[in-house]
Amino acid sequence: MKFTTAVFIVFVIGAMMSPVPTRATVVEGSGEEVINVKCSAMGLSSCLPAMRSGHAPSTDCCTKLKEQETCLCSYIKTPLYGSYVRSPNAHKTLEACGVPYPSC
């Protein structure tokens, strides 16, 4: 029983540390410009302090949020990250960075 629990914990930690990146495609304007964005939740690690505490986000955090704005819906739907993105402090962080909260 203890071995199974230990294996499960290692699996969860491994999944959190190396999630499979996804891609988001954004078509802007008249459809002439297509931008591919690599979604990596670990890239938003600089936002974690602001999302936990409600303090002002760093410049790096805001830059990363703007880069991955199209990925936020996929993070909201993911059980590992959804609670962070839906939190009141995440709303404050997005607002402070000038990133609109997604309507998924």
Q: Residues 69-87: pLDDT tens digits?
A: 999 999 999 888 888 889 9
- Domain at 2-97: CATH architecture: Orthogonal Bundle (1.10)
Q: Has residue 44 got a pLDDT over 60?
A: yes
Share of the chain above pLDDT 90, in %: 46
Contact 81, 41 (CB under 8 A): yes
pTM of the predicted model as reported, rounded to 2 decimal places: 0.64
Strand-pairing partners, residue 37, are: 24
Predicted local confidence at residue 7, as pLDDT: 35
How far apart CA 54 and CA 22 sit, in angstroms, is: 27
- Residue in the structure block whose two tokens are 């505490």: 53
Token pair of 60 as six digits? 């790096």
Comparing 34 with 64, which gets the higher pLDDT?
64
